[in-house]
Every structure is written in structure tokens, then in C-alpha cells.
Amino acid sequence: MSEELYIDYFSILGLPEDCKTGDVKKNYKKLMKDLLLEIHNISSLTPAELDNYLLKMAMLNAGFYILRDDGRRSNYISHRKKVIELEKKWCEVAEQNPDSQEADRLRREYDRALQDFLTKYMEELVLEAGRDRECVETSNWDPFHERHASRVLRHYRQKLYSQIHERLPYYDVSKPEIDWNERRNFVAKIVKGEYPEYE
């Protein structure tokens, strides 16, 4: 099971889980400085690059904001562990008995926990971090960034949710068996106008 889709602020800041607050600050400042230099060196940003850089800045701010505070850090670690555990538990039960009530209960519980986790650590606290004095000073984050970041963060949060779902047991549809060679042929036929009913 890959855990990287559950936002890992330690790896975003390049730190181990037992790092000291001083290291958090040091790494954050360095990474943010590098990022701002990188942005500064680009003459004009395309909308895709703009979204990408905004997301990177927001994640660094959030990483610093969450990990530098002991309370926020321990909440984040336990919340993340809980979601990972729930995924594991649900997958195990669903594999043995997919139609059981227990599997359905665990799925609902996991889904709620995942949505809460992503909303809190991929949206709420990220925006909150943007209003933190130290983050504002280091990243020059302003209301303009926040306005655009809300849209970018929401999109990214839901994208993560959907990517996580790709590896989970199927429940609302039966498990599809996809022949990717057949899919490639279908796509080629549609594009070339060879699909019989292409209109």
C-alpha cells in the first residue's frame, strides 16, 4: 500500500518524523527561498505553472505551520496514521468478505476519515498557514495568493481523493477487467473516425 498520497509534510520538508522544530524552520526557509528564486527566474508563467508553483508554496507553508507546533504536529501524525490503518483494515475485510456489513461499515468509516483528513490538511490548515505571520514574511503570501489557492487546493484535494480510490476495493461498480490493448485500439479508432457510430 502506497502511503505517499496521504500528504506527507515530513517528506515535503525533507525531514524525518522525529525532527526538531529548529530543523523544520531551517529546511522550510531554505526550500522556500529556492522556490522563490526559481519562480523569479522565469520570465512569464503559464497558468499551469502558476497553479503548480502556488501549490508548492502552499504545501511548504502548511508543512512549516503544522510541524513547528507540537500540538498540530501530533494531531497530524495521529490523524494520518488512523486513515492509513482504516484503509488497511477495510481492504482486508473487503478482500475476505466484500458483501459483509462489516466491510460496508469500515468503508464508510474510512471514507469519512479520509475526507476529513484531506479537508483539514489539504485545505483548511493550508489556507490558515497562509495567514501565519512567519509564513507571510518568508513566502510573501498575500490575499491574491489565497484567492487563487482555494481553487487550486480544492482541485488537488479531490484529485488525491480520486487517486487514492483507484487502488481501493470496488463497491459502487463491479470490478472492471480492462484490456488496455483493446482500449488503445478503441481510442485510435475513435480518433481516426473509424469507429462505426462516430458522430
From the number of C-beta atoms within 10 Å of its C-beta (0-12, 13-18, 19+), residue 149 rates as buried
Consecutive H or E run containing 70? helix 70-96
Choose among 75, 99, 101: nearest CA to 170.
99
Q: Which is nearer to another protein, 16 or 47 (CB)?
A: 47
C-alpha cell at 48: 499551469
173 is a contact residue toward another protein (CB under 8 A): yes
- Which of residues 16, 22, 47, 71 is near another protein by CB under 8 A? 47
Q: How far is the CB of 125 from another protein (least distance, A)?
A: 18
Q: How far is the CB of 116 from another protein (least distance, A)?
A: 15
C-alpha cell at 157: 484535494
170 is a contact residue toward another protein (CB under 8 A): yes
Tell me, rounded to whole angstroms, the distance of Cα 2 from its chain centroid: 13
Query: What's the CA gap between 171 and 10, in Å, rounded?
Result: 33
Query: What's the CA gap between 173 and 4, in Å, rounded?
Result: 26
Q: Which is nearer to another protein, 4 or 137 (CB)?
A: 4
**Positive or negative: CA dihedral 129, 57, 122, 74:** negative
Total residues at interface with another protein (CB under 8 A): 41
- Which of residues 37, 43, 46, 70 is near another protein by CB under 8 A? 46
Q: How far is the CB of 196 from another protein (least distance, A)?
A: 7
Ramachandran region, residue 15 (left: φ > 0; alpha: ψ -120 to 50; beta: rest): beta
Per-position x/- string for 125-164, each x denoting binding to another protein as judged by CB under 8 A, each - no binding: --------------------------x--xxxxxx-xx--
- Which of residues 29, 35, 51, 69 is near another protein by CB under 8 A? 51
192 is a contact residue toward another protein (CB under 8 A): yes
User: Coil, strand, or helix at residue 148?
Assistant: helix
174 is a contact residue toward another protein (CB under 8 A): yes
Task: Report the interface residues with another protein, using CB under 8 A.
Answer: 44, 46-48, 50-51, 151, 154-159, 161-162, 165-166, 170-178, 180, 183-184, 186-188, 190-193, 195-199
